[in-house]
Chains A and B, each alone.
Chain A
């Protein structure tokens, strides 16, 4: 049920984000915002998996897969970036499908432990074939693409590109989550046995959402190589997965906008307190612990404080 009212607040935010490069041309802010969009996409795709009950601490592995496929196709294969984007996504979805087949059958903690070694497997595999993948040093100087005469080495153009991808991804995830499929996914998270008993093919849905989540992770991976122009395997270590997961927790897993808010707040904190050097992770860790203790639903539960709150308290309670 599409109701325009649901889109008013996001549209205002979107308008502000579109206006930002017009008001300020500071490359640094655009870079930070682009980073936030990429990680918010990543955290939102993780949201889909986690709310289906697929706790995944190896999500950055799929981001890395997408990024490396794109980077290798562009630099080694000479393919256009625009073509490499869907190719990387399809490749990553295929890989997620193959990986998901055995591991989605696992129960509880075995599944969590196996997903958390996925990133390490990717890094080791890349490190084992340095001639082809560039090894631990990564690949440098990935060329920026050109489309309709727009050169995306220009940071403003790149900002708009990433913004469009971000908005599209969030919109698609939102539509998935609030559709009939989304209801089934919530049901699978709550009680897989019950779902199975009323004829829902639980494993098929799990593998499907695993692949869809990795598809978005692959897109954000391909975009991050445009932003940085370099790629190295350590960008996609378990630390990256943990970060995406902590963004999700910080913002709140109750609503699809939680991960977006989480990524925004976390990356802002990281940038503002960069001068603390080694103390920054400590600060971030303490903030996360405080949020878990005092706002178990994440920062999104502070929404009633906003004047934009038109949601009834009932739906609010249900989401917590």
Chain B
């Protein structure tokens, strides 16, 4: 087991980890701001992948345009979902902090997680779909190879992460999101439009899910059953990193990516997943708010 092999695996782990954290970031944003625990997030990611497949393979758009369109379409869908399904519930009880026993929003997302995969089966059929990105070429650093495809994924996700961090720190709307996440009542008293913040969080969250779906489509197959497993990974990433923390989500994603890739190579089978479950349990006993999260 020489060094370059280890570096190679680490690169793969980083790619996987970045994509997981993109999905988890959307999940944690929607929860932090709209107070909706989105159990349909895996299905949203699946929908994004299918849109990317449709744009790229069926309509013949270039890869980047297809991914961008899928992401934008998912963002629009996010606004629609928020408007139609979640806003009425929230407006019925404006100061609800979304505690665990508050089921209406959870029921909505669970119902969506039933509807979306069935819809995908009806529209696209059950067969696995492949998407070709038409990006070729390999970058070599000494003895370490990385395909252009994966390199672009790393670059895009890092840009998105930094962009989002800057947006939340410095942009007016982004700071409004931060304020809502910290204290809804105080934010409302400051004149922040809660509905707009929630719609924005849904747009960003689903847009990120769509982006991750589009970026992952050429690496794996696209099929209607891929939602639940990615939702599970999202949960692990979110719990590891701490709910509501953007850097924590990145850290959690990378950690999980490393466990998955190295575990698969050295242990194989189900063990990597079981190890991450055990890790999650131990972490929650030691620090119940995740690595970088706080109450």
Q: Which residues of A contact B (CB under 8 A)?
A: 50, 53, 55, 57, 102-103, 105-114, 116-117, 120-121, 124-125, 127-128, 189, 237-239, 242, 245-246, 249, 253, 278-282, 284-286, 288-289, 292-293, 296
Q: Is B239 a contact of A114 with CB atoms below 8 Å?
A: yes
Whether the Cβ atoms of A109 and B243 lie closer than 8 Å is yes
Nearest B-chain residue to A123, judged by Cβ: B270
- Known A-B contacts A110-B239, A117-B232, A279-B122; the reply to A286 vs B115 at CB < 8 A is yes
Set B103, B243, B270, B271: member contacting A249, Cβ < 8 A: B103
Looking at B158-166, B209-217, B284-292, the stretch in contact with chain A turns out to be B284-292
A109 to chain B: which residues have CB within 8 Å?
A: 31, 37, 100, 243
With A112-B37, A278-B122 as known contacts, state yes or no: A121 contacts B243, CB within 8 Å: no
Q: Which residues of A lie under 8 Å from residue B284 when comparing CB positions?
A: 102-103, 106, 110, 114
Known A114-B284, A117-B280, A292-B108; judge A127-B270 contact (CB<8 A).
Answer: yes
- Residue total for B at the interface (Cβ-Cβ under 8 A): 46
In the complex the two chains form, is B100's CB within 8 Å of A112's CB? yes
Give the distance to chain A from B87, nearest Cβ to Cβ, in Å: 11
With CB as the reference atom, state the residue of chain A lying closest to B288. A106
Interfacial chain B residues near A124, Cβ < 8 Å: 270, 273-274, 277
Interface of B is mostly: helix
- Per DSSP, are chain A's interface residues mostly helix, strand or loop, or mixed? helix
* Contact code string B205-235 (vs A, CB < 8 Å = 1, else 0): 0000000000000000000000010001001
Bound-complex Cα distance A279 to B103 (A): 25
Contact B274 A125 (CB under 8 A): yes
- Cα distance, A97 to B107, chains bound together (Å): 27
B248 smallest CB distance to A (angstroms): 13
B220 to chain A, nearest CB (A): 19
For chain B, residues 105 to 136, give those with C-beta under 8 angstroms from any C-beta of chain A.
Answer: 106-108, 110-115, 117-119, 121-122
Q: Which chain B residues numbered 17 to 72 have a C-beta less than 8 Å away from chain A?
A: 31, 37, 39
CB-CB under 8 A for A249 and B100, given A113-B238, A117-B277, A285-B114? no
Which of A108, A116, A238 counts the most B-chain CB atoms under 10 A from its CB? A108
Question: Contact at B104–A292, with CB atoms within 8 Å?
Answer: yes
Which residue of B118, B235, B274 contacts A281 across the interface (Cβ within 8 Å)?
B118
Contacts of A121 in B (CB 8 A): 274, 277
State whether B280 touches A114 (Cβ < 8 A): yes
Contact residues in A for B290 (Cβ distance below 8 Å) = 110
**Residue B85, interface by CB 8 Å:** yes
Tell me if B88 counts as interface (CB < 8 A to partner A). Answer: yes
Q: 15 A-B Cβ contacts within 8 A? A: A50-B101, A55-B101, A55-B106, A110-B239, A110-B243, A110-B288, A110-B290, A111-B100, A112-B37, A112-B106, A114-B239, A114-B280, A189-B101, A282-B115, A284-B111
Residue B295 interfacial (CB < 8 Å)? yes
Closest Cβ neighbor of B113 among chain A residues: A242
